[in-house]
Amino acid sequence: MKLLIDAQLPTLLAAILNELGYQSIHVDSLINGDESTDTEIINYAEKHQLIVVTKDSDFFHSHSLLKKPAKLLLVSTGNIKNKQLFDIFRRNHLKLYELFEIVNFVEINSNGIASHE
């Protein structure tokens, strides 16, 4: 599974997800880095068949209305320490893989993970 981590999330998250067996890159790796527009991020994700991982509700609205990005992982933890965020992903990474096999929109928060659609 291939993931594109949005700018509001730490770059280290991509490295941690790579260690867990995902193919992950951070928006900082794109040509415009963290100044990439939502449209640029969506287009890049679509071209490379990546799941967008974000805290940005604009992607939720775009996915809900236009199905762009095609696959979305919404992080709705609020403000938490990076260590807590990384631990949430470590605890739930197998479930993430399972859910994205059957749905296109998953939400992860401090309490766990939920699929939508």
C-alpha span between 35 and 67 (Å, rounded) = 23
| pLDDT tens digit sequence for 15-36 | 999 999 999 999 999 999 999 9
DSSP-assigned beta bridge partners for residue 2? 23
Does residue 31 sit in helix, strand or coil? coil
Q: Whole-model pTM? A: 0.95
As a whole number, the mean pLDDT across the chain is: 95
| pLDDT tens digit sequence for 35-55 | 999 999 999 999 999 999 999
Per the structure, the count of domains in the chain is: 1
Residue type, 26: H
Percent of the chain with pLDDT over 70: 100
Query: Where in the sequence is the domain holding 76, given as residue range(s)?
Result: 2-116
